[in-house]
Every structure is written in structure tokens, then in C-alpha cells.
Structure 1
């Protein structure tokens, strides 16, 4: 599967599969991305898809305090195959396996050496990818080992170099008959300045427009700044790493036979980058920080807009300037991830056993550039003082006595690229030499023991059993710098996250043969599994699984599974730093003090702070969280007809019901429920008598992470394979995988339902096409091999609510069909193989999705880079 694709990340390969859905990130996500690649099985979320390496957990990885595995950190050259178990597997594997399991099996037995060099580029001459990997292995009677190293580089694609993303497209059906128009930002390089003070202000925004002409009123249809070309649509990503897997047979020790020691080690370094448009410096409008541009500032007096009637210099209360002189807001990520496992295996009689200890660590650093210190910005646009020598300084009151040491006044009225542009000295002062730095990491340690074998002979066959125990410790942290902690940087505010948990688990599995060798029952087997998990954060939970497999004959098999699954609260959900936000909400108790309001501290007649106001609301982690719980049903059949050798058909129906989903209630819902039913009143703190504040007014709302709502989803998966084997014109095989989402309903905290099936809502879990399918055919004859693949993503409906809440208005996002082809020739006498490939033969562009946050589309779902050429040469030794 991997060799027939140009992709060099296992996450990218998985995201192309039809059973992928939702909003898992990849390197096409620029604004909001981290360089990581995740996978969301059936759209239930990356955090509900368990990733294993050789049947064992992989350490969470990313930028710190993460809940999922970055699939970029798994060396692709070491992968032998990928097993995807598409049903709840908590009874076998524990937490996180709600949607299923991705089990990555690495190479174990390999003799020789192999060197692969792969390189590709788009038809637009950008987005280059280069990969070099080398693998060496040796196998003897008692031992084997495989060692591999690799290097991968992915270069960027700029949004401005693609027609679909070179400008923001808005939807304004009320004043534009077509509904479409070019969008942009009101924070422009040519300025957008409003005065609402008594010093000559008239509330009219002024601009010079893109041509930097004379001052005139700002025009929202022609003057916005097109920020799209300054963004990546494919982010640069560089990775290198090495891995080693091996085992050595020690021999027999009494009843212990075939005792073998094993070892696994992996290390990956990733350096990635995100670049978005230069900072839109608008202290009041965008950051909620008053920083009026003084009418006593030299630059405002000489170059700023004047009152249209009096000609006076104005105090600019809301000024906006795109800081293009910085080159953009650059975010650089560096992560190191390693995992080591040491184990011992063997037999005792007819039973197999294994024991292992593992340690995984991920550390990360994030550097942000192109941001500003808001306190210094306020100083730089305040009054100025010029001495007798013409030296200009910031001054608190415009006099020499008020001079602020070191402060450089900021001129926002010049033209970039000319001698009137913002100078490096100005930028240096308002940034305060500020480079935001965040440190983060994840750790996991554990020990496991497993055993499996026959228990007894039953009339229908052998009763098999397996059992095991595991102890695991998990920790994570994320530590932002001081300016983010204080919330005085335009990079935003952030709080530290840090914490850990431990879990002890035990499981048992039984395979019970019920009937065999009967008419209509070739074999009937019952499978049972149960796992007990004890967490030091919330307590214990037991999850079980019952399965039935009925082989009618050698051609037709029916199977069904009913299982319980759970997801333990993650490090960020438990331990994220708690912080205050100020959402716009309305307290219904103010005007209608019901008995529950009175019981909560509101006077019987209400209080006089009615209306929509911003109320302090506490958000963040909650150590009282309980696990998410799910019930899962899977039923289907496998058909392999004797009359059509090489053909198989698999059909599975699946249904998942998730409860106690981890989310937040929402400040407004808390207030409404308190007033109407008395529920959640305990989450509202109110001012009492003697406090100096209005009695009954809201002091604080506690809207921490909690268990609320759920998901109901169902669908059908179909897979068919047909291999003609050796024919007169070579070997030929076909495969088709289809996924059909029938229902995906997200239940909100208030009981309302958001339907996802067949819809795309960027702010509600992502993209859920009802139909996705992949088709592939392979032909080979002698040294030649050809692969053709097609990937289809069906139409979805999106609401038109990105910029304006157009109630009831929706549109259809078109489907996407991608064709790929690959040709290989094997020079056996030289142990060399050449491969040429062409992805997206027809240069299909992603469909427009107006609600997409990046690039007017959904970069997490659709193919965005366009036509892509690549070549590979492989040498074997």
C-alpha cells in the first residue's frame, strides 16, 4: 500500500483511506496546524483512535501535553504492514480504542540492505518532496535484526500560487446577488483609522487605499487587504530518524523453551514551520487593548488623517495597520520523539508468553516571531517629544519630563517598501526583541505481561485463552513564556499545562468453539473478552466484548461483535491551566428571578444588570472528569465463492453510541438552566450583600471541561478483492474499498443534535461525506509493474454561516475524484528498481468550501497540491 503511493507519511496514507473522516490535521493545515499528522477513524476523533506499534502503545507526541500520536514520528521505511481494526477494542487494548485501532507492524525478518531515493514536484514547480532511506538487516538461526535510517524534506506551497486559495472568498447573499465576493482584512498596510473622541472625531474610518493616495473614507468593498498570498497551503516539514528492531534466542531453561530477548528503538526529529500573513496590529478591535494613537504624536500630526471639517489632528481610538514589514507571523516547531522497548518471550508447554518494559518521550519547542508587546505599542503611539536637535522620543505627556527611556515612536502612516516604511528600530521596540517560546513534552513508561494458549479440548475444537496485565504512567506539559502568561502579547494568551496519571490493567480473552462440521455450520465460535482498568484520576472501569463468528461453509462467513469501549480523560483535558474569558451572555435571572435563582443568591425582584453583557467565565482543565463510554455493534459477512477463485467480498455494518463526551457546557447554557430548572446553579458564583457589588450579579461562571453530550453514528463498509493471478498477459488484481456514513449525530450539552452525515462544518468536527471510495488495480509482467488508483470523496452540504449568520442558507460542496498512476521497472541483474508516478493526473483542484478556515476549502480532506510528478530508485544489496 505504501510503495504504490508518493506520500512519505503514514498519516497521509491513512487519511486517504475511505474510512477516514472528520477533522484530523495534516501538513496542509497552516493556520492552526503544528506540522503533525493525525488520523480520525470514522470521524470519531483522533483522540478516540488508538495507535499501536507492534501491538504496544506509542507515546503521545506533538507540541506538548498531547492526547494523540503524531504519525509523522513513525519511520515509514520500517513498516511491513498496517492493520486497521474498525471496531471498539477497549476490552483488548484499553482506553482510546473507541473508533478502533491502527496497529503498525514493523519489519522483523530481513536479510540484506536496501537504499531508496524518492523525489517529486508539482506541475506548478513547487511543493518538492525528497526522501532518502536506508535499511540493513540480518537473520540467523537464533537471531535477527533490522536497522533503518531516513531523511524527508517537504517544501512549501504558497496559497497565492493556487487559484482556489489566492484570495479569501466571502458569501454575502444579502447585498451580492451571486453570494460571492473577494474578502480581506480591515487591517491594511495602507491603514484604517477611526476617531471617536471629542478632539474633532466624527467616527468615520479613514484610509489611503491600496494606492496610498490622499486620505479618504474607508471602502469595505475595495480597500480590504488580501492576506491569502502570504500564507502557506502546504507547510514545510523536515524529518529524520532511525530505528532498530531485533531479537536473540537464548534457548531453553527447564520448562521455559524458546526464550528470546527482544528490543525495539525508534527516534524521530521533526522541524516544521507555519507562516501566516503579517500581524494585523489593531490593539482595540482585535486584541481588546486600548492603545489610542495620540493627537500629540509627531507622526499623527504630520502624516495622519485630519478631521474632514475642521482639519484637526484626531485621536485615533481604533487604528489598524498590517505590519507587512515583519514578513509574516512565523511559527517554528522542533520535536524529538523516541521510544524504547525491551522484552522477553518464550513458551511454557503449549502456552506462549511475553513480558516487556517500554519508555517513550517526546519533547518540543515552539518559537513564534512577528508578534508585538501591546504595552509597548501603547507607549509608541502615545504623545511624542522632539528636542532641540530634532531627536524624537515617546513621552507620557508630550514634554521632556515625560520622556520614556528607550521608546521609539511608531509611524503607522508610511508606505512599505519606501523610506517612509516602519523602520527596524520601530519594530524592535514594539516587539521588545520578543520571540515567543513555548516548551512542551510527553512521557510514557510501562510494563506488560501477556500469555496465550489452549485450555482444553471441546467437542467442536480447542478452547483458547489469553490474559495479561499492564501498568502505565503517562505525563505531559506545556509551558508558554511570560508574556503569553500575562496576556500582553499579540501572540495571544496561554497558560501552563502539566500533570500525570497512572493506570493498572488486567484482561482476559476466550475463544470458545461451539459447533463444527455440521450441515450449515462449518464452524461456530464465540469470543469473549473483558478488561479491568484502574486509573488514579477517576477510579476503575470494566469493559467487555462478545463476538460470534459463524462459518456457514468455506465460502460464506457471518460475524458480529457487541462491545463496550471507553476513553480516559487526557492530560490536557485534566490539567490545562484554568483561565478567565468574557463571553457575551445574558443572565435571565436578572429580569425573572425564579425560585432557583433566588436560592442561588438573586433578590426576589431580580437585579438591574439585565441584557447581554460580558461575564467572567472560568475555563480549562478539570481533574474531576470521568471517562467517555461507548457501546459498539459491528455485524457483517465475508464471501469467497469457490466458482470465482481469488475473489472476496466483505461487508460490515457498524454502530457507535458514545456517552459522557468530554466538552464544556457553555456559559449561556449554564445561566439558562439555572434559571429554568435549577440545574447548574452551583456553577454560578454571585455577589452577596456587603461586597460592594450589585447583589445577585454574576461574579463568575465555572465552565470547565466536563462530561456532557455524546455521539450516535452508524455506517456500512465494503471491501472487495479480486486477483486473477498469473494470466497470459501478466498478473492482475483489483480492489475496492467503500465507506458509507448513514448517521453521525453529535448530541450537545442542552440535548440538541447537530447532524454531521453528508455535511461539512469546520467549527463542528469537520467533513463527513456520506460516500467515499478507493479503487486500485495492479498489473505486473516480468520486470514491469503498473498501478492505477482512484479516490472519491462525495458531495457534502455546508451552512453559510462563516461571516454572517445566514439562517437556513446552505450550499453544496462538490465531490472530488483523484486519479493516480505509477509505473515500475525492475532491473533484476543490477538489483535496481525504477519507479515513475503521477498523482492527480487531471490536476483536480479542491472544491470550494466557503466555511473552510484555510484556503477556501477543507485542507484536511481534499487533495490540494494539484498534479504531482515523482520518481523513485531502489537499490538492493
Structure 2
């Protein structure tokens, strides 16, 4: 939906040329006796009705209490409007202990998170742009409003897919204590939570403090049938395609017999039996690394929050002035654990560490040349370092935010002014890794003195002894006296514990005011205005070995930077017609926000909404809007480095006019075809904001013949342009040769340089704005309530999401369809159908809940492990059932709750594209049947 389409849509709305509509789904209805003006997420204008212009789903306190989840992020990820690749604590390799939320699968970075209408500091393991929803415990939440529409015209950056606005508990009088424990039917993966709320209220103010402690225990991949063994699709080795996978870096070691010294170039191993050296079998010898991984990571959190407000009174024309403050703090300790290091310096790390033919262990235990019987220099050798116990990553984060605010009234206008500061700091420890330089020394030549003491040596003599070095034996058998010793491990690790420090901070001030401007024939003309100033900073600082890239932990660059923004907005609610047959009321909403960044400049984003109440039963709504996402600190300021990817320069053999203009001789130049060319990658301060156009249209139907039934249907459409990504060095070279595009990113050697004229000196592949996403779908929500005299009350709810289309546009114009597919592990999972059904029953002291969660099947391409055919795999659907019952012992103010998640113990569907556990833990229920109990006391 380009800007032209957006303009036409606005014109259509103004001309009322279609049945356009926008629903607001609610899980709990407000009392009809209360007429109070409130602000609904998506607008700053206070209004008496809850049905605004935007589609808003509400997760209320009752629904939160029917969940076993102890994280708001886990609750949101189970909603049908979640999709894509948001991480959670079920993601081990690639996880961080955080839980994020990706609305409609458009990305966590494009879903704005607010607490009480204000931004929250980004949080993670370093410079970040998204919020870890673990930091907001469910016990402090009154409700969560999820706006499923763009809202940059009201809130600014990041509100592309929508907004999650978390409303905390404020007017709480009394005390409550909740204790919950749970465990899977396999006896693992336990979760324990203790939380409390303490509040007091008077005519002048209130104060609420909440605290919590949560601990989640791990589940091992080896303890689940679906994840205990890595599965590959490999038709070359197995005609059926599917077979047990694994790694060629095995605990019993292997090597390639070097053809350069007369070997046959074949890989050999002693196998698990540690017998004679034999040819390595790709079918039976790979190491099964799956059992050594977590499928649910351990996670421990504690924190508190406090809210207080006090009525200061009237000050002349300024009435009902109220001061308030909020404080939130969360500490998280989490861990991930993956299989022990596959030590293969040349194959996996591109570092030469040849196993010397003068090394004692190679001489005595290593393979021999098949013809001469000599010890060989082994350049490609591999060994799984099981003695370390695994590659362990330990995270600790602290996140806090403080907000101070004043509110009041002047005439019929309401105003609020606030200031906030939030900070997140993190440390990441990586253990089980090695220093590559020390590995090279330890497998080099050795020297043995007269006493039988063995030393590393540069040349195998006493003169070349390397102080402190301990020779490494990768040919030994684990669990025997030939195994790798602690002294060997200590030397090649150098007692190395990789540490990365990072953090984020955000501060800001804002002022908002709203009220009526004048009376029009159809009602009051409402207006809201506001200004905001905000600063954001972030950093990530790896240790020196990671900066140099000389350890098996890999290389990582420092990130440091920040930006500030000044913003102003205006919003109108315009009553057009009222009290006419067929038009009970017709309103328009207009909003626009100007944002001025010190990085890229300014942007203005606007929105038009329409709400047409036909009668008491039917309301039509629609919005068309512009949204944007400002480049984040990591995207702007990530460290730049030069790498050497394998690419081919087409200008070498076919110098077009564009190549010649770029400095290539007309006859081309001589190169070696597919070569490694220097390529600069990293952040870029030249980035511009991502831009989006959004359309929503739908209706709310509440039939008079069934007054307790409510149905909403929404159509939505989002187009994102200028997504932050990279072009890739091969695309840069190809485009330069074919059209001249991107030639400015290719620097070439010229005459007199001493290098081949025209050869590539440097390719610049920094972050750029390129490509985008196009998505559309239909949301359906139905609610029905029924009271009976003999059986209590029933509340039924159904939410259905149908993804019509989702396309990712790449830099070269390629379109990758995502709807109904698990196309790419990075982008995530996009079922065409997802739905949740909820049934609540209340009868005297008893309440019960049943929840069904459905995730439709998806198709994944089978492009894996040397196979590039067009076969596809159908990833099956998953339907889970959960139940809960609560008894309220009113005489003791105590409630007892028992529940079972995934009652029928459904296993996650198999997916080849699943990087963790042969499935997708970001989408499916993976822990199996889960029992939990809760006791709640109130005072």
C-alpha cells in the first residue's frame, strides 16, 4: 500500500465509500453504570466510551489469572496475533533468557511496549531496541491493551505493527500473597513463583507496592523424544531423506589424510570403539550433540514495583492537581547451555593449527601414512571437547525505571506532565571456549626431557620450549588414562572466561493535554496536543579476545552510541453526524506527529480514522495511517570490521561499461573466480527510518436479539519500506556489473598501487535501508456471556487470525512468500490460521477455565545440507488443551487453584528448519503436559 494508495484510502473514508471498520476486542466489559472519561490505547483523547477508532484487544486481570505462565511475554506469545521469530526461554542456542513479542510477525522491534502509556527502557544483553517482557511481572498488571494498528501519529517510532500498553494496578487496598508451583509430567521443567501486592488508598491518594520471585528449572533436549537426536534432511546419504544428524567433530576425533603428503584425502577416525583407524562414516559416526542442550533454559528473576499518587488540590484555575510516581526494578539471572566445543581450528574457525608430526601424541597415538607408515602433519583435525561439560553462557541483567508525573485540569481540559529515567545493564559470561593461539602451540612440536617431562616446543628441541604450554592429546579416549587432562584444558583455555558488558538507558520528558474545543451539531470537537523529548543510549563491550577474534567464542565488536529526539503531535476527534436514521453517530479522527532526530533528521506521520455507529447493534470503523521505525543504536553504531567472504567479481571476466567506470580495465582483469574479498560490515549512521503504510477496516456487531454476544471482524494491511538490512557483497558486485547500481560501494585498486588494476580493494556492506515487508490478514473475535439460575455464569471467547499474505522483499527484488510457511529460521513461523478458544465458568465459590490453542500447519522448504531441490515438508498443526479450576474459601480469604497446561501432552510438530530441538520453540508448546497449583491469600 504505497502513499498513493494511502491517499486514495483516505479519500474513500472521507467519502464513506465502503463498509470500513475497526474492532476493539475486550475480554472484560466495564460496568455500564460508570461513566468516566478514559484514554484508550491508540489515542490521547479522553472519552467516555470504550469503542474507539482502533482495534484493541484487552487481556484483563481475570484472563491473566487463568494462565500458568509466570511471564507476560509468555502470555502474549500464546495469543493468536503473535507470529514470527520472537524469542523466549525455550530458545537455547540463540536465546538470551529474554522474552519478546512480535505482533503479527512484523518483528519485536516494530511493536512498541508502553507501561501506563509511557515508553519502557530497552533491555537485553547489551545495546538493544526491544523490551524484555520478563521485566514486568503479571502480579503488578491490571490489564494489557494490545493495539493492532500503526500508531506513530500518537506515540512515534516503533509503533508499526502496533502497541502493547501495560496498565499496572494502582487503586489497590489491602494485601495479597500468591504462591505457585508447577512441574511437567516428565518431572522436570519446574516453575516456582511467590508474589505479593500491598496497597492502601484514601480520598487523597493511594500507594501500591508489588514484589515477586520466580525460578524456572531446565528441561534437557535429551529428555524429550522429539529433541533427543538431531534430525537432518540429507537425500544424498539416505534415500528417504530423513536421518539422524550430528557433527563431524566427535569425542573420539577424526582427521583428513592429507593428499599433499601422499595421503588419500579421506577422513579417518577410530570411532566410538577406539579401535584401529578407519574411514569416517557420515551415516554412523557423527556426534549427537542434541542431548547436551537445554530445551527449556533456567531462568531466575526477582523484582518489585511501586506506585503512589497524592491529590495536591486546586491552585487557582488549575484544579485537581495530582502528583504520582512509579518505580520498577527487575533482576534476571539466566543461562543457556549448548554442546561442548567442536574444536576444529581450520574447518570451523579458519585458523591454521596443524597437528605437528613432531608432536609426541601424534607420534604415539595418531594415524600413520598408509604407505610409508610415517606420522603425518594433520591440517584438518577435529575433536569434540566433551571434557568441558559444554559451552555455558550465563546472563545477569538489572533493569529499573523511575517515573514522576503531575496531572490536573484547567477548565474542561485534562493535562499531564511527566519525566522518566530507565536503565538496563547486563553481563554475559561465556565458558567452555579456547584460545586458538594456545591450541596451535599445544598441537605443535613437543620436546621430552630426560625425566620424561613433556613440553611444547617451537621446533621439537629444548631450545624451542614454550614456557607454561601443555601439549594437547586429541587422540585420547574420554574416561581413560589417555583422555584430555585438566592441565591440558586449562592451558588451551588460558582460564578464559569471556565477558561482555552492555546496557541501555532512556530518559525523557513529555507533556500532554486534551479536551473539547467547541460544540458542533453532532457533539464536541475533541483535541489532544503534546510534546516529548527523549534520549536513548546503548553499548556492548566484549572482552579483548572477542574483539580480536582469536578464541573459539568467535569475534564480536563493540557498540556504543545514542540519539535524541524532539516530538510534537496533535489529534482531533471530529463528530460529523449524529441522530440521523442509519447514522446514530459518525466521527472522524485525525492525528499527526512530527519527530526530529539528531541522527537522520525529521519525519511526520499521520493517521485518519472513521467510526460510524449505524445503530445500537452495528459499528463500522476504519483507519489509514503512516508509521515509522527509527534506526536503533545497534543498527547505527555497531562496530565496523573487515571480513573476507567468498564471492565472485563478474567484472573480472566481463567488464561492462559500468565496470570500466568503476576502475576496471576494458578487458577485465585476472582473478581466481570464487575468492575471498575484503568486505566492510557493521552499523551505519547514514540509515534512514523504516516507513510503513497501514490500513484497517472492520465492524463490531452486537445483535439486539442476543445482547450478550459481540462479534468483531477486522481486515488489516501493512506495507513496510526501507527495512534495515544489508545488501550482501555478491549482490553489490553483480548489480554494479549489470546496471551500475552500488558501484560506489566497490573500491578498486588503481594504477601504481602495486596490485592488480581493477581488483577489489574493499566492498562496503554496511547496514542500509532496502527491501521491506507486505502483509495482510483478517482478525475475528467473538464473545458471549450467559447467566443461568442453576449452573452459574458462562463466558465464551474465540479469537481467530487468518494470515492472507506475507511477503518479504529483498534488495534484489526477490519476493519470499511467508504466509503459511516456515520459510526461514531468522524470520520465523507464519501459519495462515491461528485461534484461541476460552470458556470460563463461575458458580458460587467455584470458577473453572478451559482454553484451546490452535496453530495451523505450515510448509517449509527442504534446502539443507548440500541439497537444493524443490521438495517441501508439511509441518503439522498443533492443538493444545488446558484446564484450570479454582475454589474460593471466602471465610479465610483464600483461593486454591489447580491447572493442567497441554492436557493431552501434545508434542511439537517436527520441522527441519527448527534450529533448536527439531521444532520451533518460538511458536509451539514444547514442554509437554504441565501441572501447577496456586494458593492465593488476601487480607
The 5 A counterparts of 1:329-340 are: 329-340=391-402
Deviation at 1:726, TM superposition (A): 4.3
CA contact (8 A) 2:234 2:864 kept: no
Q: Which residue of structure 2 lines up, in the alignment, with residue 308 of structure 1?
A: 370
Q: Which residue of structure 2 lines up, in the alignment, with residue 745 of structure 1?
A: 807
Q: Which residue of structure 2 lines up, in the alignment, with residue 242 of structure 1?
A: 304
- The SS at the match of 2:564 is strand
Deviation at 1:208, TM superposition (A): 1.2
Q: Which residue of structure 1 lines up, in the alignment, with residue 322 of structure 2?
A: 260
Cα distance in 2 between the residues matched to 1:853 and 1:823 = 37
Cα distance in 2 between the residues matched to 1:578 and 1:603 = 30
CA contact (8 A) 2:722 2:770 kept: yes
Deviation at 1:610, TM superposition (A): 4.8
1:193 aligns with 2:255: yes
Higher alpha-carbon deviation: 332-341 or 851-860: 851-860
Q: Which residue of structure 2 lines up, in the alignment, with residue 322 of structure 1?
A: 384
Deviation at 1:195, TM superposition (A): 3.2
The 5 A counterparts of 1:450-465 are: 450-465=512-527
1:375 aligns with 2:437: yes
Q: Which residue of structure 2 lines up, in the alignment, with residue 565 of structure 1?
A: 627
The 5 A counterparts of 1:57-96 are: 57-96=119-158
Q: Which residue of structure 2 lines up, in the alignment, with residue 695 of structure 1?
A: 757
Give me the TM-score of the superposition, normalised by structure 2: 0.93
Query: Which of 824, 827, 836 is residue 889 of structure 2 equivalent to?
Result: 827
Q: Which residue of structure 2 lines up, in the alignment, with residue 814 of structure 1?
A: 876
Cα distance in 2 between the residues matched to 1:66 and 1:726 = 51
Write the deviation string for residues 223-281 of structure 1: whole angstroms up to 9, x where unpaired. 11000000000000000000001100011110111101000000000000010000000
CA contact (8 A) 1:75 1:243 kept: no
Query: Which of 722, 726, 739 is residue 660 of structure 1 equivalent to?
Result: 722
Cα distance in 2 between the residues matched to 1:807 and 1:501 = 46
Structure 1 residues 177 and 203: alpha-carbon distance in aligned structure 2, compared to 1, 3 A threshold: closer
Query: Which of 89, 93, 104 is residue 27 of structure 1 equivalent to?
Result: 89
1:856 aligns with 2:918: yes
Cα distance in 2 between the residues matched to 1:220 and 1:68 = 42
CA contact (8 A) 1:762 1:852 kept: no
CA contact (8 A) 2:573 2:590 kept: yes
Cα distance in 1 between the residues matched to 2:550 and 2:826 = 30
Q: Which residue of structure 1 lines up, in the alignment, with residue 698 of structure 2?
A: 636
Residue ranges of structure 1 left out of the alignment (5+ in a row): none
1:169 aligns with 2:231: yes
Q: Which residue of structure 1 lines up, in the alignment, with residue 767 of structure 2?
A: 705
1:494 aligns with 2:561: no
Deviation at 1:417, TM superposition (A): 1.6
CA contact (8 A) 2:237 2:283 kept: no
- The SS at the match of 2:885 is strand
CA contact (8 A) 1:591 1:610 kept: no
Q: Which residue of structure 2 lines up, in the alignment, with residue 787 of structure 1?
A: 849
Deviation at 1:200, TM superposition (A): 5.2
Cα distance in 1 between the residues matched to 2:803 and 2:729 = 33
CA contact (8 A) 1:197 1:315 kept: no
Q: Which residue of structure 2 lines up, in the alignment, with residue 449 of structure 1?
A: 511
Write the deviation string for residues 585-626 of structure 1: whole angstroms up to 9, x where unpaired. 111100111111011000010000151111111111000000
Cα distance in 2 between the residues matched to 1:338 and 1:417 = 47
CA contact (8 A) 2:526 2:573 kept: yes
Cα distance in 1 between the residues matched to 2:536 and 2:819 = 35
Q: Which residue of structure 1 lines up, in the alignment, with residue 52 of structure 2?
A: none
Deviation at 1:692, TM superposition (A): 1.3
Higher alpha-carbon deviation: 756-765 or 152-161: 756-765
Q: Which residue of structure 2 lines up, in the alignment, with residue 214 of structure 1?
A: 276
- The SS at the match of 2:68 is coil
CA contact (8 A) 2:234 2:867 kept: no
Query: Which of 265, 268, 278 is residue 203 of structure 1 equivalent to?
Result: 265
Deviation at 1:447, TM superposition (A): 0.3
Query: Which of 438, 461, 467 is residue 399 of structure 1 equivalent to?
Result: 461
- The SS at the match of 1:674 is helix
Cα distance in 1 between the residues matched to 2:236 and 2:284 = 18
Cα distance in 1 between the residues matched to 2:480 and 2:895 = 55
Query: Which of 782, 795, 820 is residue 758 of structure 1 equivalent to?
Result: 820
Query: Which of 413, 419, 430 is residue 351 of structure 1 equivalent to?
Result: 413
Cα distance in 2 between the residues matched to 1:129 and 1:198 = 57
Q: Which residue of structure 2 lines up, in the alignment, with residue 421 of structure 1?
A: 483
Q: Which residue of structure 1 lines up, in the alignment, with residue 741 of structure 2?
A: 679
Give me the TM-score of the superposition, normalised by structure 1: 0.99
CA contact (8 A) 2:794 2:839 kept: yes
Structure 1 residues 406 and 175: alpha-carbon distance in aligned structure 2, compared to 1, 3 A threshold: closer
1:411 aligns with 2:467: no
Aligned residues: 877
CA contact (8 A) 2:235 2:867 kept: no
Query: Which of 868, 871, 874 is residue 930 of structure 2 equivalent to?
Result: 868
CA contact (8 A) 1:762 1:853 kept: no
Q: Which residue of structure 2 lines up, in the alignment, with residue 103 of structure 1?
A: 165
Q: Which residue of structure 2 lines up, in the alignment, with residue 6 of structure 1?
A: 68
CA contact (8 A) 2:70 2:137 kept: no
Q: CA RMSD in A?
A: 0.9
Q: Which residue of structure 2 lines up, in the alignment, with residue 505 of structure 1?
A: 567
Cα distance in 1 between the residues matched to 2:865 and 2:86 = 24
